[in-house]
């Protein structure tokens, strides 16, 4: 018999706020009713603000982040198009695989798991592409497997410096609504996210931000698509309707999530993620453990991937946390299985929850045989959280 709450510290699905859960608990409604747009039309606008775009177009497809990947690719590219991608973790790797399966000519730059998108290598490659053979450049903003946040703005700069016309695709599944992301300023052409991460909802929506340039490309793109056809979606969306049955419950939840983000303020949400993540990182450092991310500049504020010491199996840490302390952490993925566990710190979260995550991780590590001082990580994080508001007046101003 399990008592109390179970704890979910995985990088998606994330905790759904009680107000969002309640907002979804409504009777089924007619998705062709004359007033259906009253629910949906505001969502497109709200989502655009979260993407920091005024000229982009938002689309909601039933599905998950991976479905939105497919929608982005099939609507804007042609079979055999050359695209440039980096592989530095499980998710960037899966995106490469999808692009290959869909028939793109993928040029992959492999870098270490723990590195970011290789800006210099992209620049060199784009500089040599005098005839603009590369049709799109793909960036995984936040590689969830390694806890690495890459510099999307730098990739835009590199495209501009090389006078290159390629479309800029961004996987923002574990960054949108949590990390600084600027669709307009960075001239991102296609950004993809899902409902179950920073947006604090159940899984079920694949969300896209599409630039005017990408919409233009979609008019002539010849890759096969049916369910994910942009033009079918756009035609119906104009009045707030959908070409097939939409997940209405999720729309009610999304309304509530977008309101929460707007009330807290997007800048404050981003600052909170930084403040909470920094406390988690200080705890990890106090244990004497290191992150997969190679450099401080790459640290993700939504997920930390933690290496366990040689001779310890990270799967034991996960199992002990789950079976004995009702707590889920993220597992190591791909080559990091057994070597790494992850703490997801995104979405509806506060200091007390992060301290719980650290406290339980500490016990599970200790029990799995890691020689650490119980309380050390929690203490280091407390020292940060107790003073973070004063030490970071800028963040406090942003929060007000």
Ligand X SMILES: *Cc1c(COP(=O)(O)O)cnc(C)c1O
Per the rule left: phi > 0, alpha: psi between -120 and 50, beta: everything else, 32 is alpha
**By CB under 6 A, which span of 30-38, 59-67, 183-191, 352-360 interacts with ligand X?**
59-67
The DSSP output letter for 238 is T
Question: By CB under 6 A, is residue 12 in contact with ligand X?
Answer: yes
Nearer to ligand X, 74 or 162 (CB): 74
- Supply the minimum distance, in Å, between the C-beta of residue 12 and ligand X: 5
Distance set, CA 24 to CA 73, 146, 152, 193, 261 (Å) = 31, 33, 34, 20, 17
Q: How far apart are CA 157 and CA 256, in angstroms?
A: 35
Q: Which of 66, 100, 331, 356 binds ligand X (CB under 6 A)?
A: 66
**By CB under 6 A, which span of 117-125, 170-178, 210-218, 359-367 interacts with ligand X?**
170-178
Nearest alpha carbon to residue 258 among 67, 55, 58 = 58
- Supply the minimum distance, in Å, between the C-beta of residue 147 and ligand X: 11
Instruction: Please list, in sequence order, all residues whose beta carbon lies within 8 angstroms of the beta carbon of residue 233, skipping any fewer than 6 positions away.
Output: 59, 61, 242, 243
Q: Which of 91, 122, 287, 384 binds ligand X (CB under 6 A)?
A: 91
Distance set, CA 212 to CA 60, 74, 100, 182 (Å) = 17, 16, 26, 15
Total residues contacting ligand X by CB under 6 A comes to: 13
Q: Which of 14, 74, 144, 146 binds ligand X (CB under 6 A)?
A: 144
What 3-state DSSP class applies to 36? helix
Q: Which of 171, 278, 301, 362 binds ligand X (CB under 6 A)?
A: 171
Question: By CB under 6 A, is residue 140 in contact with ligand X?
Answer: yes
Nearer to ligand X, 91 or 287 (CB): 91
**By CB under 6 A, which span of 14-22, 117-125, 138-146, 314-322 interacts with ligand X?**
138-146
Q: In what order do the strands lie in the sheet with 340-344?
A: 7-9, 327-331, 340-344, 303-307
Distance set, CA 279 to CA 91, 149, 195, 209, 275 (Å) = 26, 17, 26, 32, 7
Question: By CB under 6 A, is residue 64 in contact with ligand X?
Answer: yes
Q: Which of 173, 276, 286, 363 binds ligand X (CB under 6 A)?
A: 173
Nearer to ligand X, 10 or 158 (CB): 10
| Tokens representing residue 377 in the block | 């990580």
Binding mask 316-345 for ligand X (x = CB under 6 A): ------------------------------
Point out the residue whose Cβ comes nearest to ligand X: 65
Nearest alpha carbon to residue 190 among 376, 289, 59 = 59
Pick out residues in 264-293 that bind ligand X (CB under 6 A): none
Q: Which of 36, 52, 65, 106 binds ligand X (CB under 6 A)?
A: 65
Instruction: Please list, in sequence order, all residues whose beta carbon lies within 8 angstroms of the beta carbon of residue 194, skipping any fewer than 6 positions away.
Output: 12, 64, 65, 68, 173, 203, 205, 206, 207
Question: By CB under 6 A, is residue 301 in contact with ligand X?
Answer: no
- Supply the minimum distance, in Å, between the C-beta of residue 91 and ligand X: 4
Binding site for ligand X (CB under 6 A): 12, 64-66, 91, 140, 142, 144, 171, 173-174, 194, 203
């Amino acid at each position: 018999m399990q008592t109390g709450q179970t704890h979910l510290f995985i990088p998606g699905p994330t905790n759904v706020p009680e107000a969002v859960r309640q907002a979804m608990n409504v009777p089924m409604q007619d998705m062709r009713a004359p007033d259906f747009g009253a629910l949906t039309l505001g969502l497109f606008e709200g989502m655009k603000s979260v993407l920091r775009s005024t000229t982009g177009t938002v689309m909601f497809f039933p599905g998950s982040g991976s479905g939105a990947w497919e929608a982005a690719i099939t609507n804007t590219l042609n079979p055999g198009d050359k695209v440039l991608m980096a592989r530095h973790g499980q998710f960037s790797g899966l995106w490469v695989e999808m692009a290959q399966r869909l028939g793109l000519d993928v040029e992959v730059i492999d870098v270490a798991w723990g590195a970011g998108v290789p800006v210099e290598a992209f620049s060199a490659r784009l500089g040599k592409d005098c005839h603009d053979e590369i049709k799109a450049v793909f960036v995984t903003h936040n590689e969830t497997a390694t806890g690495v946040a890459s510099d999307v703005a730098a990739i835009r700069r590199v495209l501009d410096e090389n006078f290159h016309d390629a479309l800029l695709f961004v996987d923002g599944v574990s960054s949108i609504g949590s990390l600084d992301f600027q669709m307009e300023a960075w001239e991102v052409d296609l950004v993809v996210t899902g409902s179950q991460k920073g947006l604090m909802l159940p899984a079920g929506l694949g969300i896209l931000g599409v630039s005017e340039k990408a919409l233009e490309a979609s008019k002539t793109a010849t890759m096969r698509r049916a369910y994910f056809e942009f033009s079918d979606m756009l035609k119906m969306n104009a009045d707030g309707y959908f070409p097939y049955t939409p997940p209405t419950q999720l729309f009610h939840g999304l309304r509530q999530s977008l309101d929460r983000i707007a009330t807290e303020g997007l800048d404050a949400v981003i600052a909170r993620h930084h403040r909470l993540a920094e406390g988690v990182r200080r705890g990890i450092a106090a244990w004497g453990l290191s992150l997969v991310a190679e450099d401080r500049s790459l640290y993700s504020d939504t997920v930390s991937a933690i290496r366990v010491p040689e001779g310890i199996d990270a799967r034991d840490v996960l199992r002990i946390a789950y079976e004995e302390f009702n707590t889920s952490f993220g597992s190591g993925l791909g080559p990091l299985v057994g070597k790494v566990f992850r703490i997801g710190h995104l979405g509806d979260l506060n200091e007390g929850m992060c301290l719980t995550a650290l406290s339980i991780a500490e016990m599970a590590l200790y029990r799995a045989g890691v020689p650490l001082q119980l309380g050390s990580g929690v203490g280091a994080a407390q020292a940060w959280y107790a003073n973070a508001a004063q030490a970071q007046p800028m963040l406090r101003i942003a929060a007000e």
